[in-house]
A and B are shown apart, each in its own frame.
Chain A
Amino acid sequence: MRLSNVVHLSVKELWSLWRDPVMLLLIVYVFSVNIYTAATAVPESLHNAPIAFVDHDHSQLSKRIVDAFMPPYFLTPKVISEQEVNEALDTGTYTFVITLPPDFEKRVMKGSVPDVQVNVDATRISQAFTGNGYITEILNDEVAAFVTGYKTESSYPVNLIMRARFNPALESFWFGSVMELINAVTLIAIILSGAALIREKERGTVEHLLAMPVSNADIMLSKIIATSLVVWLATLMSVYGMIECVLGVPINGDISLFMLAVILQLFAISSMGIFMATIARSMPQFGLLLILVLLPLQLLSGGTTPRESMPELIQYLMLFTPNTHFVMASQGILYRGAGLSIIYPQLLALLVIGGVFYYVALRRFKTTVGSL
């Protein structure tokens, strides 16, 4: 390995990218607009839940209950007829349909505890659970307030004070924006390193390089460095420009530590990209391989749903991927303000995974490139 070769080849990679305007445009898009859309689209866990009422009572109380459901948690409720219930739930128009029985108000006042039926579309798991909790609470509160004539402040002797740390208002775009950034880092790094190598294989330029005083490690490292540089800078700009400035996410943590984690992630991911390129024989094969790898990385590394809820086997398997560690480290640094002393195991894991991919890719490099 020679440093000067690596530098010159890296510069060549950067020129290659510079001359592909569509790629540049897509990279900019992924690190800006895409993060913005994804972060702002996904709301707090219960948001705008579509809800409808079947009101058999038409009393003051039933109207009061319907009015109590409002945005942002619920969409303004619609009152529908009994006949419409099934179709509305079937087509997914509403997640919740609440039926208030006849003589509801009268029976409440008599103290005969009437039934209120809440139909929940349980295929929408994310809303079903939380939403049902909210609904029960609102129903109870409203009825109690109606009965006692004013809204009751709960006056238990023991108060539970709940504080969400790191994100007090539980704003989901804080979370969404950084997770989308992580996805962007992964996607672009794999494509830039892996697909670029496949392109060189298909055009025969790698073979040409191999006939020169350039080692396999030079070629691989130059790809990793060029890719990392581009993605690292894009990440930096995205963190300050998009996440902090445009989206207004307050970053508690040490950004320089995060950017260090990004470097390690880039090393691991671009090594993985090159490893994939030594497996795929052509661009169409690489494209499929990319999807097979990207989907689990995005969905199962803890950025979409919490890791601890996954089956143990999956949790265990996902520990072998860089993304899992990177997501853990990023959440720690950016949200919880964790320092190096806390997240060093994740950084080490990234280094080890990257090292293994690099080593295997290097060993496969010559045999697969030469056999074309």
Chain B
Amino acid sequence: MTDRVICQELTVRYGNKLAIGNISLRIPEGKTVGFIGPDGVGKSTLLSLIAGERALQDGALEVLGGDMRQHQHRRKICTDIAYMPQGLGKNLYPTLSVEENLQFFAKLFGHGSEARRARIDTLTQRTGLFPFLSRPAGKLSGGMKQKLGLCCALIHDPKLLILDEPTTGVDPLARSQFWQLIADIRQSQPNITVLVATAYMDEAEQFEYLIAMNDGKILATGSPQALMTQTQTSDLEAAFVALLPKAMQAQHTKVVMTPMAADDSAPMAIEAKGLTMQFGDFTAVDNVSFSIRKGEIFGFLGSNGCGKSTTMKMLTGLLPQTKGEVRLLGKTLDPTDIATRYRVGYMSQSFSLYTELTVMQNLVLHARLFDVAPDERAERVEEMLTRFALTEHQDALPASLPLGLRQRLSLAVAMVHKPEVLILDEPTSGVDPVARDNFWRLLIALARNDGVTIFISTHFMNEAARCDRISLMHAGKVLVTDPPAKIIEHKQAKTLEEAFIAYLKQALPAPASVTKPHASKADGNSLSQQKHVSKPAHQYGRFSLQRLLSYAMRESLELMRDPIRLTMAFLGSMVLMVVIGYGITMDVEDLPYAVFDRDKSAISENYVNSLAGSRYFIEQPEITSYGQMDRRMKSGELSLAIEIPPDFGQKLHKGEDVEIAAWIDGSMPSRAETIEGYVEGIHVTWLLEQAAQASTTASTSYIDVQSRYLYNPDIRSLVAIVPAVIPMLLLMIPALLTSLAVVREKEMGSIINLYVTPVRKIEFLLGKQLPYIVTSFASFVLLIVMAVVLFNVPLKGDVIALGVIGLLFVTFATSFGFFASVFTNSQIAAILLTTIGTMVPAIQFAGMITPVSALEGAGKLIGEIHPVSYFLLASRGIFSKGLGFETLDFTVYAIALAIPVTLGLTVVMLKKQEH
């Protein structure tokens, strides 16, 4: 038998923190191998290395007979590896339906359409997802998400299946179905090697081979039986504890549950009566009632998406209920009442702490918000750090911590103010057994010694068994509420898990139980038979149009599922075109001016009238003093003040030199220069008139200057501005549409699909780009129609040329968005970078208002190389000057050249592995 994975002295560091140190390991073919150990010991890191998702640092790794450092080898074998990352549905696309998700992955792996249909049907029938093919992945329950994740992973017949905590946060029924599925697959494909990291020891017991890890190192390897024999223990959990270093063992003692004192007089802490929550026509919680005594530990169990979290949110006042009543600590819950919140601690299911604050800062912030007295604060924070064993991580950022540690931090934060009621939504999902037990000891102490009421939801049956009472919830309804022992008794089951599954099966609607036998019929050899028929024919190494189109399809679906965004893209550019097209005018008109006439003679009045006749100026009330002139100019009320000196008429009569002062508001230089020109012109005209009247005619003109205003004879601003607004809008909006395309996948986690599937970087980018090019081009056409129809801007030139240049330009603009997206790590930064990178060149350097040739310095350089300047030239040329390709060919080349440059840079900066 060959070894599928060979690790030699693998070491990975995050910063200066050692994630895994010097691991050497061999994994043979056809085995199911479990990785067990506490959180943050390097299980996920090791699995992501083997999957090729993360780049190697030190050491050597051979997977499926080749070196994982070799780019070529990774490309070759990535179709043989299936990887399901940690986190529910992390690599799925929530707005896409089950079918669409599966189609997407199937296309990435190059299956033909018939093969895709057959595979999707078989897989979904086996997993019971068949009836939900059209449901969006984001609306599936956690268990179903994991099943879908598995289907997506199995779509290409992997030889190596890597599952990172696949059942964390999944209910027992779904969990048992999930493992049944894996068992079926192994039966039909005996050569498949399965690597699983898990926090469930009962799951680990089923595996053939276990690797126990701690602190980045391997503690022991062997079959579950061997490990138990080695440590002389009877169950795996104990065996694992025995393998741990002595110091850690000391922390671990068995959890002892003290039953609650049977005291019926204890007041009710939480009471819910007929709670109902409806979202549209979907009833998430249906008429739920329960009451919890002070000091009770009340467990809440149920499959994912059954309404547990919604119920808990209603209890905290976060969600106002549709119907029913909540009484908290003896008072009717009032969401606006802040006082009760001091007495409640809430931990939501999704990790919701500030990733930018350190562990310590998070704790201190919450202590402050909950008004922990300043003198107690340091002590309290210290206490929490010790209790939850976070002291050594106090300065770490949560993002760098494994899930389990983060959950501990969430809990520490929820308890920092010593609340009377704790509402905990799956606090232990993803937390390792040792930490979970420590956590439960805390909870029990809180409830029994301090009388804290605890309302907790969980998927772990051993945790449920420790509760005073539990409720089983399914599809919005509570099935049963009783002490755990009674529930087991009632179903005559051996364990709570069995009882739970029995209750669930009883409550499940008929169709689900019909699909099951059907599904088991479909297994057997059908998948492996198909394998021979439909093994994808084409070469993985080459560029593949199918993969590109698969990404294009996925992106289009996502775009269409967000109609608001699509409408904003279209309508927004149209609205902006109207507002800016009408708003920006270069005609300087209606300038407010006033006269300070200190002469008041006939001739000064004559001068004043010559100004008043101008269409450029609007006369304001006369100025009466210097002080007033100063004030009115400072306030911006006057753009121009004309001062006529005393004795103006008299002096002029005597033939003495007189001076008229024109004060111009210079705060906006371009406007001031225009005003200067106007005033000068009016002044000269007046002088000529005066001279003519005095009959001393002396035409000083030797030549006749004839100005022809070309292209825009009426000098309408619209004709100049509208063709300039189009390039600006077509740069900014398409770039912004794509600017989040990559960075969002990074934030959401689905970027993993780029890392572990055969898709090439260029296919990934072009595929995602395609729908945006189409959208932006459609928007471009709309803008042109608007310009012609609404603004009456004549389109004199070659429409085809305009179309071609526009198409090239939107391709460039969307490429720029991708560049910003790849360059940054957060969505905010990507938006900011795109805005700065497009708005500044488009408005200031492209020649919209000031021609590029007139610019200076760096601005001129940007204007000269930026494609938007060329598109502006082309747009004006075609609209106003009636040009076509023959004169504008240089703009075509300039814009076309910018596309490969931008995309090339993007491809270089985009990584095909995590670093």
Contacts and interface: CB of A to CB of B under 8 A. Distances in A.
A130 B673 contact: yes
A211 B659 CA distance: 74
A114 B709 CA distance: 20
19 contacts: A9-B365, A22-B824, A22-B833, A38-B840, A42-B844, A47-B856, A111-B702, A113-B704, A125-B717, A164-B672, A166-B666, A187-B836, A204-B350, A209-B369, A284-B562, A291-B572, A292-B576, A336-B665, A342-B634
A122 B710 contact: yes
Interface string B551-593: 0000000000010110011001001100110111111111110
A292 B856 CA distance: 29
B702 A108 contact: yes
Interface in B344-386: 344, 346, 348, 350-357, 361, 365-366, 368-371
B827 interface: yes
A267 to B, nearest CB: 21
Contacts, number: 454
Contacts of A122: 709-713, 715, 720
Contacts of A108: 702-703
A309 B472 CA distance: 70
Interface stretch (B449-457, B517-525, B801-809, B880-888): B880-888
B580 A331 contact: no
Contacts of B579: 296, 300, 314
Contact of B831 (A37, A174, A290): A290
B914 interface: no
Contacts of A313: 582
A147 B703 CA distance: 11
B669 A187 contact: no
B354 A205 contact: yes
Contact of A20 (B667, B701, B828, B847): B828
Contacts of B847: 124
Contacts of B857: 37, 40-41
B674 A288 contact: no
B831 A286 contact: yes
B849 interface: yes
Contacts of A128: 709, 715
Contacts of B341: 211-214
Contact of A336 (B351, B667, B701, B703): B667
Interface in B712-750: 712-713, 715, 717, 719-721, 723, 728, 732-733, 736-737, 739-740, 744, 747
B706 A117 contact: yes
Nearest to A332: B636
A20 B701 CA distance: 67
B548 to A, nearest CB: 22
A368 interface: no
Contacts of A47: 850, 854, 856
B50 interface: no
A287 interface: yes
A283 B835 contact: no
Interface string A148-174: 000000001111111111111011101
Interface string A43-81: 111111110000000000000000000000001000000
Given A11-B365, A22-B824, A91-B888, 16 more contacts: A5-B369, A22-B826, A23-B829, A37-B862, A90-B883, A92-B851, A113-B701, A139-B705, A162-B662, A167-B666, A167-B667, A195-B831, A204-B351, A299-B583, A308-B591, A336-B634
Interface stretch (B55-63, B114-122, B198-206, B677-685): B677-685
B631 interface: yes
B829 A20 contact: yes
A19 B826 CA distance: 11
B673 A162 contact: no
Contacts of B667: 166-167, 175, 331, 335-336
B511 interface: no
B693 interface: no
Contact of A23 (B670, B676, B832): B832
A187 B835 contact: yes
A11 B368 CA distance: 11
Contacts of A210: 318
Contacts of B660: 158-161
Interface stretch (A26-34, A231-239, A258-266, A347-355): A26-34
B666 A212 contact: no
A204 B351 CA distance: 8
Given A166-B667, A195-B827, A291 B736 contact: yes
A168 B666 contact: yes
Interface residues of B, number: 152
Interface of A: 4-5, 8-9, 11-12, 15-16, 18-20, 22-23, 26, 29-30, 34, 37-38, 40-50, 75, 87, 89-92, 95, 108, 111, 113-130, 132-133, 135-136, 139-140, 143-144, 147, 156-168, 170-172, 174-175, 187-188, 191, 195-196, 199, 202-205, 207-215, 281-292, 294-296, 298-300, 304-306, 308-311, 313-314, 318, 328, 331-332, 335-339, 342-343, 370
Contact of B583 (A15, A205, A300): A300
Given A116-B705, A126-B849, A332-B634, A310 B827 contact: no
A89 B877 CA distance: 10
B257 interface: no
A92 B873 contact: yes
Interface in B96-116: none
B664 interface: yes
A304 B709 contact: no
B679 A213 contact: no
Contact of B348 (A133, A208, A306, A328): A208
B316 interface: yes
B860 interface: yes
B860 A205 contact: no
Given A26-B836, A170-B669, A170-B673, A283 B831 contact: yes
B668 to A, nearest CB: 6
A199 B863 CA distance: 34
B663 interface: yes
Contacts of A318: 583
Contact of B839 (A125, A285, A295): A295
Interface in B855-903: 855-860, 862-863, 873, 876-877, 880-881, 883, 887-888, 890
Nearest to B582: A311
Contacts of B356: 15-16, 18-20
B661 A44 contact: no
Most A CB contacts (10 A, CB to CB) among B317, B588, B666, B737 go to B666
A164 B859 contact: no
Nearest to A48: B854
A284 B720 contact: no
Given A284-B562, A285-B568, A335-B667, A44 B673 contact: yes
Contact of A22 (B318, B587, B733, B825): B825
A213 B336 CA distance: 10
B669 A213 contact: no
A165 B586 contact: no
A337 B634 contact: yes
B720 A124 contact: yes
Contacts of B860: 41
A140 B703 contact: yes
B687 interface: yes
Contacts of B23: none
B517 to A, nearest CB: 40
Contacts of A115: 703-704, 706
B858 A41 contact: yes
Nearest to A92: B873
B740 A205 contact: no
A156 B687 contact: yes
Given A42-B859, A331-B667, A30 B318 contact: no
A305 B585 contact: yes
Contacts of A34: 836, 840
A285 B674 CA distance: 41
B733 A41 contact: no
